[in-house]
Amino acid sequence: MQVLHIDEHLAVVHKPAGLMVHDSKLARGETDFAADRLREQFARPVFLVHRLDRATSGCLLLAFDHDTASALGRSLMAEQFRKDYLAVCRGWPVPADGVIDHPLDGGPGKPVKKPAVTDYRTLATAEVDWPSQHHPTSRYALLCCSPRTGRFRQIRRHLKHVHHHLVGDSSHGDGRHNLAFRMRGVHRMLLHAWRLGFPHPRDGRLLTVVAPPDGEFLRALELLGLPVPGPSA
């Protein structure tokens, strides 16, 4: 995997879409996991600090020792991390920038709802001549979504809650729009862990790491005529 940052204590890598982070009940016979690839790539133990959905690409943080992993975990729990995701959704959110504050359960077998908050900003909008239901065109938006909490599939479920479904999401998205993109060669979910900021556990300095979108995500932006956001957008 592409290494975005590395030092003696930790690394940030660019996880490709379609790769599970580690074995779990959701693996369903999978044998290829990011955790195993990274142990082989770095030829040393690795400790994953957080997770990304299989369909999500982008920044994945890992530690090389228990103490660093524990310190990063405490920072994550204390909400000292900044996680910015790029997301392509159906429609144009109103307001263009806002907060989605909607409690979520913990996923299958975890019915208790807990607070969940996601900030979002509209980076760009597009209208294309693809018919949608009774409309001759379709509208899409490129968002920067920044979850303050870390609930199960939070961004995906929050976008569904506000009726701006994430494109390519087969569980919480809109099948008609997903099909429109598949017909044009984009088969992945359009969610990308773009920028990760956190205090380094050894000296407290703020690290900000950016994973530029690639592959089918770039293809989707090209289809919509949307700009590729710069690292400071």
Residues marked as catalytic = 53
Question: Based on C-alpha coordinates, what's the Rg of the chain?
Answer: 18
Phi, psi of 89 (to 5 degrees): -120, 160
Q: Is 143 exposed, middle or buried (0-12, 13-18, 19+ CB in 10 A)?
A: buried
Give Cβ neighbours of residue 202 (< 8 Å, ≥ 6 apart): 9, 68
Cβ-contact 11, 23 below 8 angstroms: no
Tokens encoding 59:
């920044």
Pick from 17, 182, 64: which is nearest to 173 by CA? 182
